[in-house]
Structure 1
Amino acid sequence: MALSRAERWLALLLRLLSRACLALLALLPPPPGPGPGARAVPPPRRELLLLPARRLAALLRARQVTCIEVVEAYVERIKEVNPLINAVVKDRFEEALQEAQQVDKLLSEGPGDDYLEEKFPLLGVPITVKEAFSLHGMPNTSGLVNRRNVIATSDATVVSRLKQAGAIPLGVTNCSELCMWYESSNRVYGRTNNPYDLQRIVGGSSGGEGGVLAAACSVIGVGSDIGGSIRMPAFFNGVFGHKPTTGVVPNDGQFPNAHGARTRFLCTGPMCRYAEDLEPVLRIMAGPGVSKLKLNEKVSLEKIKFHCMDHDGGSVFVSPVDKEILQAQKKVVEHIESDLGVRVQHVSIHKMKYSFQIWSAMMSSQDSNGEEAQRFTDLLGDHGKPVWPLWELMKWLVGMSSHTFPAIALGLTEKLMKLNHSGNAKLVSMGKSLQEEMEALLGQDGVLLYPSHPTIAPKHHSPICMPFNFAYTAIFNVLGLPVTQCPLGLGSEGLPLGIQLVAAAYNDHLTLAVARYLEKAFGGWVLPGKV
């Protein structure tokens, strides 16, 4: 399928704008940062900060540690490293300590461990929440200046469920403006830095969650994903992230929420430092919806049909995959084949070459009722007048816009995509065909190994020059497939490597099981600064 005229103009325009803006950024003085020589965050000093949620909850139930000790340790850690990474944008430390006291009081009253584990599986476990989700008493701006005074008066459904399970929120974390870019930076809270290298991005839009988890400032994170917003931050920060099968976990209580066709693509899911925590957190988040999954089925890894695809086939919109990422994926294939005694089938799916175009077309398509997706320019205005992207770009060039350049560029992209109606219809049809092809390939026992992103964590601002690299994650949103991002240790520059594990719809149990297996084989999350 040849590129349409609109697509060629889109690619050319955005690349020219990107390079022009990078040239302007190079003329600006560097932003204030850490002291000379500082690169990664310092390692945590408390062993309590290195425990998975399940083990931490078990220690609390066994009265081997108090909840006050746990929460105080995490509060101290956030105060130590947040000035470097700027991940927690609003804390609730006083409330968290009060809730810790209540947990200790409950434990002192002596209810049985079995009762506590069943009713409060995350009792006393500190968590953080992406600022796009409502957390009572916390800001809910999604990085939009027009919403800087918005305070949540209730909890999002998933947040409420986690709190009911005993989790203690420590605060809310940074995201990209309106959750539609893969660098977490906005005009409300500023920019978040990668714990492994403060000059690198944390990803987006759930970038604050990725950074805070990697820096050992939280145990569990709440993220959302419509184009890779859980998986890219998890990859760049060396932690685990799971995008569930579409429609299993409720998306209520976040801004912006999905409308029209996009309700089929937006997913809420868990982000964790340890693979063993993904499944129990997913169960809590999903609530009754968990019955659609097969989490109680025992997985025999030797019976899984593994498939591997090294790259998307050579899209002109996307960067080539880094050699280190390809090498890490090759090691995974070799380990699976030698350890499990199975053959990993290498596949080449031609339509994946058009991942970005398919995602873009399906994001702007109508739903079954003919309802169109809400325009991004309307969201930027937040119930006011829609934003004019070209006017905002001119304002941005002279430092007068309240929006980030990526948000403005997305508004321009939206305008151009609407000029290609016939091409979009063909791409939507191609997307449906690709979904059928994927489901047939994976079946009920297949897992696809696929790169999480073409590059390791880029330096700040550089995503502007490679704006479509999120296609490696975005394609699975429009296909509705469950995906687990799994870390694979650190590369030569001390930055995280990783891989996506993909299964057919409602087979989340397969990718979660493979993630636990690969964590044991490759070490999972690694402390920042450790090469």
Structure 2
Amino acid sequence: MVAHPTDMTAAGLARAIRDGECSPTEVVESVLERIRERNDRTNAFVTVTDDLAREMAEEADRAIAEGEPLGPLHGVPVAIKDLDDVAGVRTTSGSLLFEDRVAESDSPFVTRLKEAGAIVVGKTNTPEFGLGTTTDNRVTGPTGTPFDPDRVSGGSSGGAGAALADRLVPLAPGSDAGGSVRIPASFCGVYGLKPTQGVIPNVTRPNAFASHTPFATKGPLARTVEDAALSLDVMAGSHPRDPFSVPKGGEYRAAVDRPIDGMTIAYSPDMGTYPVEPAVREVLEDALSALERAGATVDAVDPELGHDNEEILNAYYTMATVRWQSLLDNLEDEGFDPRGEDRDRLRPYLVDLIMDADEPTTREYKRADVVRTRVLDGFADLFAEYDLLVTATAGTTPFPYGEEPEEIDGVEIEPYRGWVLTQPYNLTGHPAASVPAGFVDGLPVGMQIAGRRHGDNDVIAASAAVERQRPWRDAYPGR
């Protein structure tokens, strides 16, 4: 007997649909019903595309009936982050300025998902323009983790993480410019992968080169490693309008079954410089044994990054501030007045982050590249000896809204980004994933696994090994 569709993985649904055990229409109706019943708990979805989903499901049913070739995601529901476009559907970007904006065409990775047979059931929540490590905006409000909806789901793909963990949808890709895939994965207990820069094309306009400083990329989020790899196979590959995109690096799904015998792994819970809560460290130490049981050799090694966490974060802010401030220029080109009449329509956090921030000088901008280079060299030295580096994803667990941590384990931190260990990989472009590691007081903890540039298959293989040793798919609420 086939399990209920909302309990099934994306890969399981695709197989069941191909085998005739259920139909795309049945699957979509089950998903839409669960969204109606449970979305108020977390506010994961900002738009539910009932009519579009039903039309796509009927077309998927017709293709099966007529014996047409089926894609790898045929009939599988997917949710799209509200920064990315689905033709004919609102893309608010979490901003009152775009509250009524309707996309004219699909983002390239959305086109690829559709071509693979996936069915779009809605758009997931994000902070305004994706700028934030928690998910809140003035269009639809905050999104909470399903493990405690009064606590943050992470950001900026917080709606995606919450939708997955509450089993509203089996696939929900996100985007990551400083941890925006991995932080929600950690806080919602799901799997999230930031691939090597360029693996998934990121077609940005008016500036096609905007994604390089810091590196920003799309990335799969799912409840299982297999589902994430399956969707990465669909989304990956070069694109003529993304100057940083690269050809697809093999079959990512195949890496899920690859053994990790003989793999060498460096373990540094704090990356040698970041504060991490003792309880989070304990969970990581326990989860680390899964890699050893799977045949890998694990050594405690701190990378030499050349800078402490404050210096790395300052370099990130220098680069990101330039990028964020260019956003205002783009809004002005579209006819808005973000520095004047439209200022009050922006979230105050955004005003503080961009407009009230000092504009970096050209010299400061280039000096940040020197910090970035030392971080790159530190990782290069480590990955010359080890296949992977394992750390915490975040130094803490999900916290209540408006209570960003100012201190971790007795160390004062910058409250908005000082508690994440994700940004170094956005400076260098290495692949990094957040794997569910366990719980602290019922709240999920993520373990970050990173590899060499274009070593995405190593990251996936190690992630899958952890999942086989310590499966997490039955730990979600609302079963």
Question: 2:197, 2:215 within 8 Å by CA — same for their partners in 1?
Answer: yes
Whole-Å Cα distance in 1 between the matches of residues 456 and 334 of structure 2? 37
Deviation of 1:470 (Å): 5.7
Question: 2:133, 2:417 within 8 Å by CA — same for their partners in 1?
Answer: no
**Large movers: runs of 4+ above 6 Å:** 255-258
Q: Structure 1: where are the runs of 5+ without partners?
A: 1-45, 366-371, 396-400
Whole-Å Cα distance in 1 between the matches of residues 251 and 25 of structure 2? 36
Q: Return the structure number with greater helix share.
A: 1
Instruction: Find the partner of 2:391 among 447, 450, 455.
Output: 450
Deviation of 1:417 (Å): 5.2
Taking structure 1 as reference, are residues 487 and 439 closer, same or farther at Cα in structure 2, changes over 3 Å only? same
Instruction: Find the partner of 1:498 among 420, 432, 446.
Output: 446
- How many residues align structurally? 459
* 2:310 is the counterpart of 1:310: no
Q: Secondary structure at the match of 2:421?
A: helix
Deviation of 1:383 (Å): 3.4
Q: Secondary structure at the match of 2:154?
A: coil
Deviation of 1:490 (Å): 2.7
Whole-Å Cα distance in 2 between the matches of residues 270 and 357 of structure 1? 28
Whole-Å Cα distance in 2 between the matches of residues 143 and 526 of structure 1? 32
Instruction: Find the partner of 2:231 among 281, 303, 306.
Output: 281
**Structure 1 length as normaliser, TM-score?**
0.80
Whole-Å Cα distance in 2 between the matches of residues 64 and 149 of structure 1? 40
* 2:210 is the counterpart of 1:268: no
Matches within 5 A, 1:132-531: 132-252=83-203, 259-260=209-210, 262=212, 265-288=215-238, 289-292=246-249, 295=252, 299-314=258-273, 320-340=275-295, 342-350=297-305, 351-353=307-309, 354-363=311-320, 375-378=326-329, 383-384=334-335, 387-388=338-339, 401-412=344-355, 415-416=357-358, 418=360, 422-443=363-384, 446-463=387-404, 466-469=415-418, 471-492=420-441, 494-529=442-477
Which residue matches 2:243?
Answer: none
Q: Secondary structure at the match of 1:89?
A: strand
| Matching residue's letter, 1:335 | A
Aligned-residue identity in percent = 28
The farther-off stretch of 54-63 and 287-296 is 287-296
Whole-Å Cα distance in 2 between the matches of residues 213 and 336 of structure 1? 25
Q: Secondary structure at the match of 2:448?
A: strand
**Structure 2 length as normaliser, TM-score?**
0.88
The farther-off stretch of 337-346 and 202-211 is 337-346
Q: Secondary structure at the match of 2:461?
A: helix
Whole-Å Cα distance in 2 between the matches of residues 526 and 452 of structure 1? 21
Deviation of 1:345 (Å): 3.5
Matches within 5 A, 1:58-137: 58-110=15-67, 115-116=69-70, 120-137=71-88
Whole-Å Cα distance in 2 between the matches of residues 470 and 387 of structure 1? 30
Q: Structure 2: where are the runs of 5+ without partners?
A: 239-245, 407-414
Deviation of 1:61 (Å): 0.6
Q: Secondary structure at the match of 1:221?
A: coil
| Matching residue's letter, 1:89 | V
Question: 2:283, 2:439 within 8 Å by CA — same for their partners in 1?
Answer: no
Deviation of 1:339 (Å): 4.6
| Matching residue's letter, 1:122 | L
Taking structure 1 as reference, are residues 485 and 258 closer, same or farther at Cα in structure 2, changes over 3 Å only? farther
Whole-Å Cα distance in 2 between the matches of residues 95 and 257 of structure 1? 31
Taking structure 1 as reference, are residues 261 and 153 closer, same or farther at Cα in structure 2, changes over 3 Å only? closer
